[in-house]
Amino acid sequence: MEIIIGRDQTTRKLRVVKDGKAQLYGMPNSVPMDVSRNHVSFQQLASGKWIVKNINSQNVTYVNGIAVESKTVSQNDKIELGASHYLVQWEALREPKIETVDIRPLRQVWDEYNEGNINIRIRQKNNGLLASLPIGFTMLGGIVASMVADEYKPYAYIFTVVAFLVMVYGLFRRFTDDSINEQETVKKEFQRKYICPKCGHFLGYQDYDILVQSDACPYCKTKFKK
């Protein structure tokens, strides 16, 4: 891999060309005018060291303070460009790190949220069924009373008593049911955990399977590892 380094003419930032692609580094106007547009090339060796080479004989390049035309260097060496000794930061030569965040633990967060909601809904449904049971018992009592001989009729009241007890129990269940608060807790817990591991933004009420279809966090743009 060959990297060419010089001064960007318009911004006067450090211009780094890798594989034909130019990237700018540093603050505007940070590179002095005695650094030319294509000042020096770096060629990486298999050993990890670099050959630094002056592109133009009019350019001045220093390695550890000594002017060179071409020299093998490592990252411990100090490379300076131009008469005003502009120091090259080795970071500028490195591949820009593509940051990723692992979002796989969010699948469990989504599952727990779903499960929590389902459990609350099942309980609400059961409470609803419990409320309609007494009507059934009362009706049954009436039917039984109309069918049995007179001496057994009083036993039909058992159904009414059972209906009453079930009704009382049902009311008790409804009054002690905390599912609205619980729903709120499940929701809060979800909002707290279903977040981008990088920037902490809540990722919304979307299914994990849909979330993984996006490549990056919509807020900080960090790539998702999935």
Task: Give the footprint of Zn ion on this chain (CB under 5 A).
Answer: 196, 198-199, 217, 219-220
Q: What is the largest CA-CA distance in the chain?
A: 124
Tell me the closest approach of the beta carbon of residue 196 to Zn ion, in angstroms. 3
DSSP string covering 49-73: -EEEEESSTTS-EEETTEEESEEEE
Per the document, the length of the chain is 226
Helix, strand, coil percent content, the chain, rounded in steps of 5: 40, 20, 35
Tell me the closest approach of the beta carbon of residue 216 to Zn ion, in angstroms. 8
Q: Which is nearer to Zn ion, 33 or 220 (CB)?
A: 220
Q: Which is nearer to Zn ion, 126 or 206 (CB)?
A: 206
Tell me the closest approach of the beta carbon of residue 200 to Zn ion, in angstroms. 7
Give me 23's structure tokens. Answer: 């990237």
Q: Which is nearer to Zn ion, 125 or 201 (CB)?
A: 201
Tell me the closest approach of the beta carbon of residue 110 to Zn ion, in angstroms. 17
Amino acid at 105: P
Distance of CA 225 to the CA centre of its chain: 9
Q: Which is nearer to Zn ion, 26 or 197 (CB)?
A: 197
Given the structure tokens 């993984």, which residue do they identify? Answer: 212
37: nearest Cα among 13, 15, 14, 6 = 6
Tell me the closest approach of the beta carbon of residue 199 to Zn ion, in angstroms. 3
7: nearest Cα among 192, 27, 145, 20 = 27
Q: Which is nearer to Zn ion, 67 or 220 (CB)?
A: 220
